[in-house]
Amino acid sequence: MRRYLLVLSSAAVVMALGIPAAQAGTGGEPTPAGVVSATPPSTLPHLPASTSKVEQVRQIVQCGSTMYAVGTFSSIRKGSTTYTRNNIFSFSAKSPYTVTSWAPDVVGTYGTTSNPSNTLNTIAFVGGNCADVYIGGHFSSVNGTAVQNMAEISTTTGNVVTSFKSKASGAVETMVGAGSHLLVGGRFTGINGDSTDPYMVSLSPTTGKSDGFLHLSVSGNYQFPGVSSNATHVYSQQISHSGKLDLVEGDFTSVGGQARQQAFILDVSGSSAKVTGWNAPELNTNCATVEPFYVQDGAWSPDDSTVYFGTTGYHPNGLPTGSYPRSGPCDAALAFPSTQSSVTALWTNYTGCDSLYAAAADAKAAYFGGHERWSMNPVGCDFEGAGAYTAPGIEGLDPANGALYLNSGGSAGYYSRDRGLGADYMMTTTAGLWIASDNLDHAQYCGGISTS
């Protein structure tokens, strides 16, 4: 069965102007058999290419034979049909990817300067139960029922399940099911009046109250000269394939009494969650003052032996823009051992000062997405340095060494997509690689295929 690149929306390519292109790079690799296709199906539901405000899909999950997507949007297109959908919708996981009639009315905002967030940031199921789903973000009601930033809703009616208490003091950024627990992270300092576990808490999926599974005392934020304001929060998390570990990213300096910056790994296999000994000192690096939190997504290798990160950050703080070759973990794709000890990067692939926001992996490739223009670009910053390759919006890398997989001509990356704000979420399923993104600059192309 052919595995596809599956894109809900993407954003238009922005080319560097006035900078001469370098020759095609020299360190890439031919793309091996078995990777996901470079072109998506043309029948996927997607955001309209043009809306009054930039709209975005933040996350996609699958439960049973149905895909569920959340973000900030007001309509979805499929073929010639436009569907009104307020920040959430579902569709068949198999071709022809039929949009369902499920249409909860989620009312929210884009957030504020002190509490930034899309309307919906995250969606999760627990324990394989597809009858109800948990959503988090910055919103105030679902189908007319008042809630605050989180809720459990029926996948049949879209109505709020009122037995699950739904009040978070700040935006919810991430939710995952871990066994019988709902692990929730965000910008909140309290859930349903309980401030015991700020920024990350384990909730009972039945009551919405803390089940006591984790007590991490997440605290701290990034402080260095000239740094822009950054608030403590947990931004994203990924459960390992074994279900025993949780990779977490965010803005913090201490977790479970241990010094951690940008990322940590939890052991969620026992009666209580514990911070493991995994630590990547390279992530203690301060990147640019305007991007102090830069490790915005992670992924596990299929055997859970490696973790991957896509980062923002521009370049290490204090280094001049023209300092080459690049060093540090800023604006790069990175791989680390998941060994529960202090580790160093297995490889680093630099974009040349463009951000990566999403990561995913399968047995054949590690995939990274954002609004990058190039890959393998350690001697360029906002231009294509010697040895770099054009790889707009997405790159597929060799998991063994981080080398870019190339097109048949060996002149550019195998994958490409319109850039826009950037691919914000990616995941792999048996169908292929799913990508959630936005419609900045009338976006509509991925792998040369129009989604509009």
Averaged pLDDT, groups of 10, the chain, 452 residues long: 52 29 67 93 90 92 97 94 97 96 92 73 97 97 97 98 97 97 98 97 98 98 97 98 98 98 98 98 97 97 98 90 86 98 98 97 97 96 95 97 97 93 93 92 77 56
19, 27, 38: which is closest to 367 by C-alpha?
A: 38
Whole-number pLDDT of residue 184: 98
Whole-number pLDDT of residue 6: 60
Tokens of 253: 């300096």
Whole-number pLDDT of residue 451: 61
Whole-number pLDDT of residue 447: 81
Place of tokens 């102007």: 17
Q: What share of the chain is helix, strand, coil (3-state, %, to 5)?
A: 0, 40, 60
Whole-number pLDDT of residue 305: 98
281 phi/psi in degrees, rounded to 5: -55, -25
Rg of the chain over Cα atoms, rounded to whole angstroms, equals 21
Beta-strand (E) ranges in 35-108? 56-63, 66-72, 75-78, 81-84, 88-92, 106-108
Question: What residues contact 373, with CB distance under 8 A and at least 6 apart?
Answer: 14, 15, 16, 351, 352, 354, 384, 390, 391, 392, 419
Q: What's the number of CA atoms in the CB half-sphere (13 Å) around residue 313?
A: 31
The H-or-E segment that residue 369 falls in is strand 366-370
Whole-number pLDDT of residue 187: 97
Omega before 316 within 30 of 0, i.e. cis:
no
Angstrom distance (rounded) from CA 143 to CA 373: 41
Question: What residues contact 142, with CB distance under 8 A and at least 6 apart?
Answer: 104, 105, 106, 107, 135, 151, 153, 158, 159, 160
368 phi/psi in degrees, rounded to 5: -135, 140
Longest CA–CA span in the chain (Å) reads 61
CA distances from residue 45 to 40, 222, 270, 304, 396 in whole angstroms, order as listed: 12, 39, 40, 32, 24
Tokens of 195: 């401030």
Angstrom distance (rounded) from CA 252 to CA 266: 15
Residue 127: helix, strand or coil by DSSP? coil
Whole-number pLDDT of residue 13: 27
User: Across-strand partners of 248?
Assistant: 237, 264
Tokens of 385: 């340095």
The H-or-E segment that residue 247 falls in is strand 245-251
Whole-number pLDDT of residue 114: 61
pTM of the model: 0.94
Angstrom distance (rounded) from CA 347 to CA 332: 10
The H-or-E segment that residue 150 falls in is strand 150-154
CA distances from residue 102 to 9, 86, 90, 157 in whole angstroms, order as listed: 20, 11, 7, 7
Tokens of 422: 């950037």
Residue 242 amino acid letter: S
353, 350, 316, 314: which is closest to 333 by C-alpha?
A: 350
Q: What letter does residue 116 receive in the DSSP assignment? A: B
Omega before 325 within 30 of 0, i.e. cis:
yes
Whole-number pLDDT of residue 15: 25
